[in-house]
Amino acid sequence: MIKREDSGENKVKVTFVMPYEEGQAAISVLGDFNDWDPAKTKLIKRRNSTCSNSVVLEAGQRYRFRYYTADGNWINDPEADGYEASEHGSENCILAL
């Protein structure tokens, strides 16, 4: 799930939310906005059986992203604004703000 909230001054707060099950591998969101670095935006476990994290991004831009698990799996968000082929033979999610 992707939540968007106007953050003022041409910025949008984007919250990435995934379901969480006890014992699952840690999940990070990787994308153009964090240099595809799994250490930069780790999803944090919440009490409501989800994990999430937020980033503030520039409005009017288009970003590629995917979720990555600590056990090496890639996950696409079914609520992405679209998808495009990556140079690695998979599809990246698109976030259009």
* Total domain count, the chain: 1
Query: Per-residue pLDDT for 21 more than 90?
Result: no
d(CA 45, CA 26): 9
pLDDT in tens, 28-51: 999 999 999 999 999 999 999 999
Mean pLDDT, residues 51-65 taken together: 97
Instruction: Categorize the per-residue pLDDT at 22 as very low, low, confident or very high, splitting at 50, 70 and 90.
Output: confident
Q: Number of helices (H) and strands (E), helices first, in the chain?
A: 0, 9
Q: Which two tokens stand for residue 67?
A: 């979720």
Percent pLDDT > 90 in the chain is 90
Q: Which two tokens stand for residue 31?
A: 């994308």
Contact partners, residue 20, CB within 8 Å, separation at least 6: 43, 45, 46, 49, 50, 51
d(CA 59, CA 10): 5
pLDDT in tens, 76-88: 999 999 999 999 8
d(CA 47, CA 49): 6
Name residue 56's amino acid.
V
- The CATH number of residue 74's host domain is 2.60.40.10
Q: What domain range includes position 50? A: 2-96
pLDDT given for residue 78 in this prediction:
95
